[in-house]
């Protein structure tokens, strides 16, 4: 009896102690944690994705910064950052949030508008006129500049010189063309070489966004809210082009990123119209060195459309928590104004910023052997300045889901007017 009592007491006690110890070992070293106290923290944290690109750029900026700053750069996948920010900001507790965060331009407005006081305006820390105008619209709200524009998503038409030559085309024939002309060439290439012209993911209408931005249009009007699908002339053209491509039978379908990359790495497609950030993925296939070049992206056959557009691209934001001034000063002194830093950025990281004064630098003129000796950076940088500015608004991806479904109906033969009218109605009811 005594023995059992003894066991009962010591056993349970031991168990409790072990459990508490285990949990305590997992708790924080200091009870203070990060924010809320209002005190200036010693450490500034930054969240970004892609170790070879954004993270590398931040590391470079840290080295280039002359002040003494304890900057901790934390790597997270982009979707993970979106998830973490949304959870943290909607909980209303700013605890655990970073000082600096990278946000994709097309998502930025939804963060700025959904969490009005969460971000710190940084317009006073750099000269906004130094940056490409198309980067400023999505990164500001109500006349206040919140984002420091980082990489451009300027698009180009990457193409296989050997395939095009075999079909009888030169770079000249691909320069400053319309999508209609592109489709014509595509049919020819398919007939003469047997290679597909392009690889597309039916669920990702990125190419549609590239097309409409080249004409200065978007899924929403300039206020960023009013859904603009039904009488959107550029969008109609884009739909027609998309269908023409599918019907021309030169589209190699892919269902995810790895298949997309495989399509050009394995030499199955002749062109890749995409943001400039695709270049390293193309260059990964060493056996194709010297077989690629980049032409300007085709434009829509409309007045005012230009041979320049945007896909992706992101900017840095400062959260409105203690340490914000330090963080903003750091961004302003590096990404905001340091020309020499931008040369290193191009050379070491291959990241192309949108800071106009940097474009005359030496690094931008360098010839790229992989792309047949073309001065790729200089070309991209030139096209960057022509990109029409649009307000991406809050709902780009929500509207695109609707459009992706309606696109399938359109491809099956539904009338284009009906397709866009239905999409408009759906979007309006869903986004109220």
Partner 1 sequence: MRKAKRIATYTFLSVASIVSIFPFLWMLVSMTNKSVDVTKGRLLPGTHLLENLKALFDTVDMGTALVNSTIIAVITTFLTLLIGSLAGYGFEIYRTPGKDRVFNLLLLSMMIPFAAIMIPLYRLFGGLPFFGIDTLAAAILPTIITAFFIFFFRQNTKMFAKELVEAGRIDGLSELGIFFRIYLPTMKTSYAAAAIIAFMNSWNNYLWPLVILQSPEKQTIPLLISNLGAGYSPDYGLIMSAIVIATLPTAIVFFVMQKHFVAGMMGSVKG
Sole window of 20-28, 299-307, 324-332, 374-382 interacting with partner 1 (rule: CB under 8 A): 20-28
Q: Which is nearer to partner 1, 219 or 277 (CB)?
A: 277
Single out the residue of 35, 399, 46, 22 nearest to residue 228, CA to CA.
399
Both tokens of 21, joined, read 């110890």
Q: Taking CB under 8 A as the rule, does residue 170 contact partner 1? A: no
Residue window 97-116: x/- pattern of binding to partner 1, with contact defined by CB under 8 A:
-x------------------
Give the nearest distance from C-beta 164 to partner 1 in angstroms. Answer: 22
Q: Taking CB under 8 A as the rule, does residue 50 contact partner 1? A: yes
Q: Which is nearer to partner 1, 265 or 389 (CB)?
A: 265
Q: Taking CB under 8 A as the rule, does residue 226 contact partner 1? A: no
Q: Taking CB under 8 A as the rule, does residue 210 contact partner 1? A: no
Kindly tell me which residue out of 10, 13, 14, 19 binds partner 1, with binding defined by CB under 8 A: 19
Q: Taking CB under 8 A as the rule, does residue 51 contact partner 1? A: yes
Q: Tokens 């949990």, residue?
A: 23
Q: Taking CB under 8 A as the rule, does residue 38 contact partner 1? A: no
Which residues, at least 6 apart from 424, have a Cβ–Cβ distance to it below 8 Å? 227, 229, 230
Residue 316 has φ and ψ, to the nearest 5°, of -95, 140
Q: Taking CB under 8 A as the rule, does residue 66 contact partner 1? A: no
Q: Tokens 């005012």, residue?
A: 304
Kindly tell me which residue out of 10, 17, 37, 52 binds partner 1, with binding defined by CB under 8 A: 52
**How far apart are the C-alpha atoms of 3 and 51, rounded to whole Å?**
60
For 144, the enclosing helix (H) or strand (E) is strand 144-145
- Our CA dihedral for 234, 205, 183, 382, rounded to 10 degrees, sits at 70
| Positions in 80-99 near partner 1 (CB under 8 A) | 80, 83-84, 87-88, 90-93, 95-96, 98
Q: Which is nearer to partner 1, 27 or 429 (CB)?
A: 27
Q: Tokens 């206020």, residue?
A: 223
Q: Are strands 43-48 and 100-104 parallel, antiparallel or unpaired?
A: parallel
Q: Which is nearer to partner 1, 178 or 315 (CB)?
A: 315
Which residues, at least 6 apart from 248, have a Cβ–Cβ distance to it below 8 Å? 183, 186, 187, 190, 197
| Positions in 254-273 near partner 1 (CB under 8 A) | 257-259, 261-262, 265-266
Q: Which is nearer to partner 1, 133 or 267 (CB)?
A: 267
Both tokens of 157, joined, read 């038409």
355 bridge partner residues: 131
How many C-beta neighbours within 10 Å does residue 174 have? 21
Q: Tokens 């209408």, residue?
A: 205
Residue window 273-312: x/- pattern of binding to partner 1, with contact defined by CB under 8 A:
----xx-xx--xx---------------------------
Both tokens of 330, joined, read 């750091």
**How far apart are the C-alpha atoms of 402 and 400, rounded to whole Å?**
5
Q: Which is nearer to partner 1, 33 or 304 (CB)?
A: 33
What is the greatest pairwise CA distance in the chain? Answer: 98
The site for partner 1 (CB under 8 A) is made up of 1, 4-5, 7-8, 11-12, 15, 19, 22-28, 31, 33, 45, 49-53, 72, 74-80, 83-84, 87-88, 90-93, 95-96, 98, 257-259, 261-262, 265-266, 277-278, 280-281, 284-285
């Amino acid at each position: 009896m005594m023995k059992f009592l003894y066991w009962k007491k010591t056993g349970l006690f031991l168990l409790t102690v072990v459990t508490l110890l285990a949990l305590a070992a997992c708790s924080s070293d200091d009870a203070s944690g990060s924010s809320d106290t209002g005190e200036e923290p010693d450490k500034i944290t930054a969240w970004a994705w892609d170790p070879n690109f954004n993270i590398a750029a931040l590391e470079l900026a840290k080295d280039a910064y002359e002040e003494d700053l304890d900057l901790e750069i934390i790597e997270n996948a982009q979707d993970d950052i979106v998830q973490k920010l949304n959870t943290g900001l909607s909980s209303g507790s700013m605890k655990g949030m970073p000082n600096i965060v990278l946000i994709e331009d097309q998502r930025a407005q939804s963060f700025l508008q959904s969490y009005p006081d969460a971000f710190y305006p940084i317009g006073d820390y750099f000269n906004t006129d130094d940056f490409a105008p198309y980067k400023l619209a999505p990164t500001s709200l109500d006349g206040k500049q919140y984002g420091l524009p980082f990489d451009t998503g300027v698009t180009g038409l990457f193409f296989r010189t050997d395939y095009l030559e075999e079909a009888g085309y030169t770079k000249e024939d691909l320069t400053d063309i319309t999508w209609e002309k592109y489709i014509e060439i595509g049919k020819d290439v398919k007939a003469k070489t047997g290679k597909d012209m392009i690889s597309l993911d039916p669920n990702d209408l990125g190419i549609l966004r590239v097309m409409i931005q080249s004409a200065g249009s978007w899924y929403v009007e300039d206020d960023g809210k009013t859904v603009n699908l039904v009488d959107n002339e550029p969008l109609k053209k884009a739909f027609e082009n998309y269908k023409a491509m599918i019907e021309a039978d030169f589209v190699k379908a892919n269902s995810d990123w790895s298949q997309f990359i495989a399509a050009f790495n394995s030499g199955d497609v002749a062109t890749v119209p995409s943001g400039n950030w695709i270049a390293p993925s193309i260059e990964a296939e060493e056996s194709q060195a010297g077989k690629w070049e980049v032409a300007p992206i085709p434009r829509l056959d409309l007045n005012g459309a230009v041979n320049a557009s945007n896909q992706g691209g992101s900017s840095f934001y400062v959260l409105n928590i203690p340490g914000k001034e330090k963080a903003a000063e750091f961004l302003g002194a590096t990404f905001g104004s340091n020309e020499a830093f931008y040369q290193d950025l191009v050379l070491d990281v291959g990241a192309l910023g949108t800071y106009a004064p940097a474009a005359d630098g030496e690094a931008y003129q360098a010839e790229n052997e992989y792309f047949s000796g073309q001065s790729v950076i200089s070309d991209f940088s030139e096209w960057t300045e022509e990109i029409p500015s649009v307000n991406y608004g809050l709902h780009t991806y929500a509207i695109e889901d609707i459009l992706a479904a309606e696109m399938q109906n359109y491809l099956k033969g539904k009338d284009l007017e009906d397709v866009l009218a239905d999409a408009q109605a759906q979007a309006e009811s869903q986004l109220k």
